[in-house]
Amino acid sequence: MSAQTGINTDTPKATLDVTAKKEALKIDGLLPPRLTLAELTAKGNNLYGAEQDGVIIYITTISDGGNTESQREYIVSKGLYVFDAEAVNNEGRWMCLYCYAPV
């Protein structure tokens, strides 16, 4: 059995196929889960592992009391991050996909 999910389409062409609405006043796009660095820090260093390899999140701020230890070592600014479960001897690290330059 295989399944494909379509949003705004009855004929999805991939596992998840999101088709834009053609209406001028409709907003299109994807919103990944948004977390502050403190919220991600509160999740600890063992929640994300091999099964979460490739997970994407958006860090909204780094100035709220979180830390950049262990898996969060490379979080230096707000932006999109992907989890690389094999980084640093399979400890895993959040890697920048698109990040804003630190101020």
Of the chain, the percentage scoring pLDDT greater than 90 comes to 84
Question: pLDDT band for position 3 (50/70/90)?
Answer: confident
pLDDT at residue 64 greater than cutoff 90: yes
The domain limits of the chain are 34-99
Strand ranges for the chain from DSSP E? 5-7, 16-18, 34-35, 56-59, 79-84, 93-99
pLDDT of residue 1: 60
pTM: 0.85
Other C-beta atoms closer than 10 Å to the C-beta of 22 total: 8
pLDDT value of residue 101: 73
Quote the percentage of the chain above a pLDDT of 70. 96
Nearest-angstrom CA–CA distance, 26 and 21 = 7
On the question of pLDDT at 37 being above 90, the answer is yes
